[in-house]
A = this chain, B = another copy of it.
C-alpha cells in the first residue's frame, strides 16, 4: 500500500524549487508564482500541499536543518577521538553537499529573516543549540575550563562568518579548501592552549 506516494514527491519537488527560487530572488521577495514555475507547477498547488507561503518556508527550513543534521551524524559515526569528533562537526558544515553557493545563500536568507518569523526563529535556535552542545562536549576533553567557552564561541562565530561570506560570493565555492582552512583555524586555537 504505497499510500499517497505523490504527496511526498510534490513536497520534495516544491521544497527544492523553493530553495532554488529563494536563492535566485531572496526570501522576502520571491513569489509563489516564481516558486511554482521553478517546479513546473501552479501557485495554487503549493497552497494545496502546504497551506500557505509561510508553511512552505518553514518546511523548507526544516529540510535544510535535516540536511545539516545528517551531515553531522554521518561524520560523527566514524570519529573516534574528541579531536576527530570536533573535526567531524566542522567538516559537516563545509561538506560538499552543504557548502555551495545555493545552500549558503538560502541559509543566509533564513537566518536574516528568523528574527521576523516565529517559526524560523525557533528552528534556528534549536539548530544553533545543537551545534553548541556538540562543540562543548568535544572541547571538554581538549581545552581547559577557563578558555573553553571563548574558544567555542570563536569557532562557532568563525563558521557562521564563513557561511555568511560564501553567501555573498558568486564565484563557485571550494568545500575541500574551506574544510582545510577551518581545520587549520581550529588547530591554531587549540595549539595555543598547551
A interface with B by C-beta (< 8 Å)? 25-29, 105, 108-109, 111-116, 121, 124-125, 147, 150-151, 153-154, 156-162, 164-165, 167-168, 170, 181, 184-185, 188-189, 191-192
Given contacts A150-B185, A159-B161, A192-B189, whether A29 and B26 have CB atoms under 8 Å apart is no
Chain B residues contacting A113 (CB-CB under 8 Å) are 26, 112
Complex CA gap A167/B108 in Å reads: 12
Closest CB pairs A-B (n = 6): A157-B161, A28-B28, A112-B112, A161-B161, A160-B161, A192-B192
Q: How many copies of this chain does the complex contain?
A: 2
Q: Mostly helix, strand, loop or mixed at chain A's interface? A: helix
Chain B residues contacting A184 (CB-CB under 8 Å) are 150
Known: A153-B181, A154-B185. 12 other contacts (CB 8 A): A112-B167, A115-B167, A115-B170, A124-B168, A150-B181, A150-B185, A154-B158, A154-B188, A157-B161, A160-B165, A161-B164, A164-B164
Min CB distance A142 to B, Å, is 14
Complex CA gap A20/B51 in Å reads: 32
Among the listed B29, B115, B185, which residue makes an inter-chain contact with A28, where contact means beta carbons less than 8 Å apart?
B29
Q: Is the CB of B158 within 8 A of A116?
A: no
Complex CA gap A29/B109 in Å reads: 13
25 contacts between A and B (CB under 8 A): A25-B116, A26-B112, A26-B115, A27-B28, A28-B28, A29-B116, A105-B115, A109-B112, A111-B164, A111-B168, A115-B170, A124-B168, A125-B168, A151-B188, A154-B158, A154-B185, A156-B165, A157-B158, A157-B159, A157-B162, A157-B165, A158-B161, A161-B161, A161-B164, A192-B192
